[in-house]
């Protein structure tokens, strides 16, 4: 097995472990959504800053690279993006699917796949977040 395959196998195992503990607190509060809706450029919090740099995503196709359990996926969908959420872990995508359902985000496309070989056509997204 080559080193990439070994790393991806290890990540799938780690992700399955994470997913087994990620079934609580799937609802994303309005306060949390507001925190990432329009964060200031002077924020000291890296994720807030990433959402600031991302800018207005209404109507844009956003690839969320490594979406994990879908917490940021909900935020992106609530900001008006058409989200394609990609993860290597079927278990984490199952948690993300539950989170999306609980939060009323039914327009998100969930994809299982490797970030090294994206299952998307070239130029099919406007921006990515990962």
Over 80: is that where the pLDDT of 22 sits?
A: no
Please write the tens of the pLDDT for every residue from 72-112. 999 999 999 999 999 999 999 999 999 999 999 989 999 99
**What pLDDT score was predicted for residue 16?**
85
User: Would you state the torsion angle of the CA atoms of residues 114, 100, 22, 52, taken in this order, to the nearest 10 degrees?
Assistant: 70
CATH number listed for the domain at residues 3-129: 3.40.50.150
Higher pLDDT, 60 or 18: 60
**What pLDDT score was predicted for residue 19?**
85
- What is residue 108's DSSP assignment? P
* Phi and psi, residue 33, nearest 5°: -60, -40
d(CA 34, CA 32): 5
Per-domain residue ranges of the chain: 3-129
- Listed residue (34, 29, 69, 28) closest to 51, CA to CA: 34
User: Average pLDDT of the chain?
Assistant: 94
User: Which residues contact residue 66 at a Cβ distance below 8 angstroms, ignoring those fewer than 6 apart?
Assistant: 86, 87, 88, 115, 130
Higher pLDDT, 22 or 25: 25
pLDDT mean over 48-52: 97
Verdict on whether the full-model pTM lies above 0.75: yes
């Amino acid at each position: 097995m080559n080193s990439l395959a070994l790393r991806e196998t290890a990540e799938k195992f780690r992700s399955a472990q994470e997913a087994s503990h990620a079934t609580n607190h799937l609802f994303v509060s309005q306060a949390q959504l507001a925190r990432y809706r329009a964060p200031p450029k002077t924020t000291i919090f890296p994720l807030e800053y990433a959402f600031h740099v991302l800018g207005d995503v209404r109507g844009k196709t956003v690839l969320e690279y490594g979406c994990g359990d879908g917490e940021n996926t909900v935020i992106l969908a609530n900001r008006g993006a058409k989200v394609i959420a990609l993860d290597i872990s079927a278990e984490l995508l199952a948690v993300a699917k539950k989170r999306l359902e609980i939060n009323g985000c039914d327009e998100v496309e969930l994809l299982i796949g490797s970030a090294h070989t994206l299952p998307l056509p070239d130029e099919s997204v406007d921006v990515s977040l990962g």
